Amino acid sequence: MPLPSYDATRTEMSIFDALLKARHDFGASKEILWDGNDDRKLSYNEVVRAAFALGHALKKMTAKGEHVGIMLPTSAGAVIAFFALHAFGRIPAMLNFTAGERAVKAALKLGRIKTVLTAKRFIEIGKLEDLVEDLKGVSNLVYLDDLRENLTLGDKLTALVGSKLPGLFKARVKPTDPGVILFTSGTEGDPKGVVLSHQNVLANVEQVRCHIELTEDDIVFNPLPTFHCFGLTVGAILPMIVGVKEILYPSPLHVSIIPKKIRESGATILLATDTFIGHYARQGDQGDLNSVRLAVCGAERVRDETRQLVRKKYNIEILEGYGVTEASPVVAANQIEANRPGTVGRLLPQMEHRLEPVEGIPNAGRLYVKGPNVMAGYLKPDQPGVLQTLPDGWHDTGDVVAIDKHGHIAIKGRLKRFAKIGGEMVSLTVVENCASALWPDNMHAAVSIPDSRKGEQIVLVTDSREANRADLHGWAHNHGVPELAVPRKIIHVDEVPLLGTGKTNYVAVQKIADADSEPKAA
């Protein structure tokens, strides 16, 4: 069955209008959204009705065009809150509650966010009481569980009439208007606000629809956070827009529960990262993931060891992709019929690219991308709340890549993730790959610190007690890896710091390496 062609008309509307169109196309009573935590199953009609009721209640305490924070786990509640704000012309800003007080406050300031939607039960389960206490002085916290219990007659009538005659109530917005604000993960520094238009998000939905085969029988299992663009666009918005059932699960960290949930639900597509799918495969019983026909992985490199594990135990093929928040987020992905391990696949339809040479890194270049999914612009600390656009439409990803004659992209690493040792550029990703090959069941993170003789030296932070330089040196020698990629120092830790998205927290790793290198007091 051939993949569909890109249809630009599907992107020339608001995100809420796209939801209404999907309801019309696939049937108002079609069960589309399952909450994997409380097992609620909602039809298109129920989602639209709930969005109008909640949106009307929120309308009284917010202004049209206002940025409103959403601090909720991946759940039906988060999706309904997202569409509720859209129904009445408010702009959702997805807050990373795992990032800590400083990062959340920085996001509130960047986006000039005065109101934050959350839930008491979520705060209690997530043990976020301290964070909530810290935010009380800088934002108005609105608890959705209280709001739902106190819906007025007007709210309920709006839901009833709005679900039948949405044009009477829904906001009129342009496709190019801001549709959502997300915040970069801050793996290497302070976060920035990324403003995606309605058209950006819907363009990425359309690009993925035309790149990876989806069927009406598919069920997408999404445990990734909606404050991460992959979890939001691909895991929450895309399935609803293209008529594919989605299961939302509140945390990817529940590695012993998720395989059982997948077995119970019969999910066919799993969204994950290398770290998380490796955990699911090890923790799951034989047969738990048998319904999964493909796993779509992003955010970090998929290791060969992970591929072999899930293929051997469950016969699942992993499609590795690549994205950046600024591109809504998917830029490239492998396909079932053209899956090339070691690459992130080909560019999605309608995307342009260019490579700029990087000194010291042959046969690769710094990747710039352009397309209908590339963001409206940034919110930066120097001008909070002010959209700073890309004048020429090109986004500098900061990633160094190589592209083969078939268009498959191999990520060499972020430009910031190279160390300069004696004038040579060494990829810190390669250092991590070497460690992963030797100790595949452990986490490894490489960073660089200053070196008086060679400019920089590499430090490996690992939770493997067996990790040692001698084995790394031998592996590198036998596999043609330059000796410069063998770390000068190995630091053993109980846990390698991770962000809530599953990515390595390199800011925290750098602090560990820096602290270890400081002169010890006599």
Residue 16 DSSP class: H
How many other C-beta atoms are found inside a 10 Å radius of the C-beta of residue 520?
A: 5
Could you give the domains of the chain? 8-403 (3.40.50.12780), 422-517 (3.30.300.30)
CB 47 within 8 A of CB 39: no
Which has the closest alpha carbon to 235: 323, 166, 140? 323
Q: What is the C-alpha to C-alpha distance for residues 93 and 515, in angstroms, rounded to an integer? A: 35
CB 93 within 8 A of CB 247: no
Instruction: Supply the DSSP string of 345-381, one letter for each residue.
Output: -EEPTT-EEEEEEETTEEEEEEEEEESTTS-SEEE-T
Look at residue 522 in the predicted model and tell me its pLDDT: 45
Query: Could you give the C-alpha distances from 460 to 50, 101, 429, in angstroms and in order?
Result: 49, 28, 11
Q: What is this structure's pTM? A: 0.87
Instruction: Provide the H-helix boundaries in 127-257.
Output: 129-135, 144-149, 153-164, 198-209, 229, 238-242
Which has the closest alpha carbon to 266: 234, 221, 236, 310? 221
Query: Could you give the C-alpha distances from 329 to 121, 211, 353, 373, in angstroms and in order?
Result: 30, 14, 15, 8
Helix (H, G, I), strand (E, B) or coil at 2: coil
Peptide bond into 381 cis (omega under 30): no
Look at residue 519 in the predicted model and tell me its pLDDT: 63
Q: What angle do CA 339, 222, 164 make, to 5 degrees?
A: 120
User: Pairing mode, if any, of strands 418-421 and 317-323?
Assistant: unpaired
Which has the closest alpha carbon to 196: 241, 238, 229, 170? 229
Look at residue 479 in the predicted model and tell me its pLDDT: 86
Cα 340 from chain centroid (whole Å) = 22
**Torsion angle (degrees, nearest 10) of CA 407, 410, 412, 414:** 80
Instruction: Provide the H-helix boundaries in 113-183.
Output: 120-125, 129-135, 144-149, 153-164
Cα Rg, the chain, nearest whole Å:
23
Q: What is the 3-state secondary structure (H, E, C) of 424-473?
A: EEEEHHHHHHHHHHHCCCCCEEEEEEEECCCEEEEEEEECCCCCCHHHHH
Helix (H, G, I), strand (E, B) or coil at 142: strand
* Tokens, residue 166: 């949405």
* Tokens, residue 110: 């960047």
Residue 6 DSSP class: P
User: Max Cα separation, the chain?
Assistant: 76
* Tokens, residue 411: 């990520």
Q: What is the C-alpha to C-alpha distance for residues 432 and 483, in angstroms, rounded to an integer? A: 14
pLDDT along the chain (522 residues), means of 10: 89 98 97 93 97 96 96 96 98 92 90 95 92 90 94 94 92 96 72 94 97 94 94 97 96 92 95 90 89 89 87 90 95 93 94 90 92 96 90 92 94 82 81 88 89 85 92 86 87 87 80 80 47
Q: What is the C-alpha to C-alpha distance for residues 202 and 216, in angstroms, rounded to an integer? A: 19
Q: Nearest 5°: phi and psi at 356?
A: -110, 135
Residue 235 DSSP class: I
CB 117 within 8 A of CB 142: yes
Look at residue 422 in the predicted model and tell me its pLDDT: 75
Look at residue 378 in the predicted model and tell me its pLDDT: 94
